[in-house]
Amino acid sequence: MLRMRKLVTLLLVVVAISAYGQVPEASILWQKGYGGGGLDAVSKHITKTSDGGFIISIGSNSTIGSGNLDSFCSLGGDRTIYLKYNSNATMLEWVKCYTGGDIIFPIDNGDFIFVGITRTVPSGWAFEVNRKNSSGLILWQRSYGGQAASAILRDMIAIQDGGYLMFGETNYSDTDFTIHHGSWTNADFALIKVDSNGNKMWSKVIGGSGDERAISIVSAPDDGCYIMGTTFSTDYDCTGNHGGDDIYLARIDKNGNLVWQQLIGGSGGDNGNCAVSDGKGGVIVAGASNSTDGDRTHFPSFGCPIWVLDVDSNSNILWNNCFGGGGGNCYANSICKATDGSIWMAGVSTNAGAEVAMRYGVDDAWFVHADSVGNFINAKVLGSRLWDRATMVYPLSNANVIGGGFYDDSGGSFIDPFEYYGGLEDAFLVVFTPSTTSIEVLPKAYTLNLYPNPSNILVKIELPENETGNVHIYNSMGQVMYSGRVLGHKTLAVSIADWAEGVYFVKWNGDNGAVVGGRFVKM
């Protein structure tokens, strides 16, 4: 069926590659493709490790001998390949390969917790957690829900007391999820806490008589959590629907009590696809919106966009913004907050225009970079002539980010160093630097030191000694915030107390022809 889909597309769709020079593009540090003869894709789930590194998972059903994933794994068929990197993704420290499970949590003694779903009855699925030692031997295994019908795990986090919070959906009441709203054809949100040995501590069901789709769980400051998804309900726990489907967001305390919940959206369709802590006790949510009213206050002319918003710990929407292409369907699959405070999103674009620089094919992988209050900085499109997705983005220790997803064909931006192995799709990883290629240019060996960074009152710019030139500071929209002529001064102090929070770019044009760039964050 998938191969027929590709054939029909090649026969009926003529793809035009359109370039929009006005869109600043994110800079790529390195990129790599992985694949075989089957379906290979990077998961959205990333695990941070105690040493500051992180683990990426690649789901694969490629057979042995069909691609470069063989160097990582000797298991064929359905498998998950885990890549452990150091904090800035400059070193691949180890690789492990297992069947079953998608999310992994390393234990200090070398064991691992694996999480996924498992079939319990012919028509049912359950959350599954198991602990394995470094050799892959199962030490214990637990399942939750699914005694009568399906319980589907969507996301999971580790918490400070050594336990875990699992978030997903349930279609029926059972001994683990004792309440269900509506018929068995409609899912409710399902949340369960287990201790370090997998013993159930408590569980909670939230929903209405319509359908709920669980998406993300994010740690809250009190060892509780935020849960985020999409709801079609208008009753029980899901009152206040704006029309159609809405984003559902709730804060849960450490004992499983509902602190607050709200439905976010307008009279059209609004979906939450990913969420991350905003670093201030709240949560940033990204997805897609078709509404032109309600909680959405930005209405560009280019159709359905990525919609991103920051909600504080008391459920107040602090800001919202949207990004998209010229009439296409754009949405985010993953979001992260970089160490410099800026925000990155990984998703899909289907048409060029606005913040989308070009179109390669049917769907393209699209990465969007915004400042700490949602203002656009830059973006990058990666694509072939067919279906490509960005599914993951994660912050590195040096303000860079790593992204991933899959590509469906060769060509476009997926040329050398990429190789397409002829399967359904291949996985890719890419590391972006925070600079905008059209602003930061470093043709000579000069540097700018900016401090304190971040700052909220004053920023000092340490310039090349005894050099003269012009200094300009731009906000993320390209507007000039400061311009000055520097005559042999080594350090320039600029007051930023009245400037808005966000990322700012510094550019020094030396009289000797040198052009040097830098950036700082106003908090």
Confidence at residue 6, expressed as pLDDT on a 0 to 100 scale:
40
Q: Which residues of 296-306 are buried (b: 16+ CB within 10 A; e: fewer)?
A: beeeeebbbbb
Confidence at residue 255, expressed as pLDDT on a 0 to 100 scale:
95
Confidence at residue 455, expressed as pLDDT on a 0 to 100 scale:
85
Confidence at residue 442, expressed as pLDDT on a 0 to 100 scale:
36
Confidence at residue 171, expressed as pLDDT on a 0 to 100 scale:
87
Confidence at residue 300, expressed as pLDDT on a 0 to 100 scale:
64
Are 376 and 437 spatial neighbours (Cβ–Cβ below 8 Å)? no
Instruction: Give the separation between CA 233 and CA 243, rounded to whole angstroms.
Output: 10
Confidence at residue 248, expressed as pLDDT on a 0 to 100 scale:
96
Q: Which residues contact 240 (CB under 8 A, 6 or more apart)?
A: 262, 263
User: What is the pLDDT tens value at each position of the chain, 523 positions in all?
Assistant: 333 334 333 333 333 333 334 688 888 989 999 988 889 999 999 999 999 999 999 999 888 878 888 888 877 778 889 999 999 999 999 998 887 667 888 888 888 988 877 766 556 788 888 898 887 788 998 988 866 667 888 999 999 888 999 999 998 888 888 888 988 888 999 999 999 999 999 999 999 999 999 999 999 988 899 999 999 999 999 988 888 889 999 999 999 999 999 999 988 888 899 999 999 999 999 988 888 888 887 766 566 689 999 999 999 999 999 898 766 678 899 999 999 999 999 999 988 888 888 889 999 999 999 999 999 999 999 999 999 999 999 999 988 999 999 999 988 889 877 888 877 899 999 999 887 644 333 334 456 778 888 888 999 888 776 778 888 888 765 678 898 888 766 788 899 999 988 778 888 777 776 667 777 878 7
Mapping DSSP to helix (H, G, I), strand (E, B) and coil, where does residue 270 land?
strand
pTM across the whole model: 0.80
Edge-first strand order for the sheet with 164-170 is 151-158, 164-170, 188-194, 200-206
Pick the CATH number of 449-522 from 3.40.50.1110, 2.60.40.3080, 3.40.50.1820, 2.40.50.140: 2.60.40.3080
3-state helix, strand, coil in the chain (%, to 5): 5, 50, 45
Using alpha carbons, list the distances in angstroms from residue 169 to 91, 129, 216, 505: 37, 16, 12, 44
Instruction: Give the separation between CA 15 and CA 13, rounded to whole angstroms.
Output: 6
Confidence at residue 17, expressed as pLDDT on a 0 to 100 scale:
37
DSSP state of 452: S
Domain boundaries, the chain: 449-522
Confidence at residue 388, expressed as pLDDT on a 0 to 100 scale:
95
